[in-house]
Amino acid sequence: MALITVLSSWLIPLFVASVLLAGGIKRVAVFDEFIEGSKEGLHTTLRLLPYLVSMLVAIEILSASGALDALTGVLAPFLAWLKWPAETFPLALLRPMSNSGAMAITADILNRFGPDSYIGMVASTMQGSTDTTLFIITVYYGAVGIKKIRHSLWAGLIADAAAMLASLIFCRLLMG
């Protein structure tokens, strides 16, 4: 354990020193390259900003309007038939769009039902086994200017759906 603590505290400084050393050996103006990279990062951020703001506004509207709660209420009988805890349905809808929104829903579920409850385990497993597919496509494709996402969206959403269903199945099997 002490070795891991020492390594973790020295890892980043050693990495920076090795980059500076390698740059010096290859006669690269490391600071100038760092500044150029920072400029490119800033330009990329500015290009992505409209995409990010649009997605975050849409998510906030969906959450604040009560549309998520209304949809969950309408689907509650169907979800009960599937043995899907209705409390986790908003998480399933929001997770492909926003990690922070999904994390807030997961935290609320864990506070209300506890981490060892069936609902808490399903929410935790969904949170950990799925990804923010729409956010990833927006950010990464927007960064490089790709307009046609082809099959990426469907592949990501199908993977998320499979992970959510697997969360339900495995948690049900584990809880008995």
Concatenate the DSSP letters of all residues of 149-173 into one string.
-TTHHHHHHHHHHHHHHHHHHHHHH
CA distance 141 to 148: 9
CA 150, distance to chain mean position in Å, is 21
pLDDT value of position 100: 81
Quickly count: other Cβ atoms within 10 Å of residue 154's Cβ: 11
pLDDT value of position 175: 85
CA distance 67 to 83: 22
pLDDT value of position 170: 94
Asked if 90 and 76 touch (Cβ cutoff 8 Å), the reply is no
pLDDT value of position 141: 85
Predicted model pTM: 0.68
Segments of the chain with pLDDT less than 50: none
Q: How confident is the model over 50-83, as pLDDT tens digits?
A: 877 877 787 778 778 988 888 888 999 999 998 8
pLDDT value of position 1: 65
pLDDT value of position 92: 92
Interaxial angle between packed helices 30-64 and 67-81, expressed in degrees from 0 to 180 and rounded to the nearest 10? 80
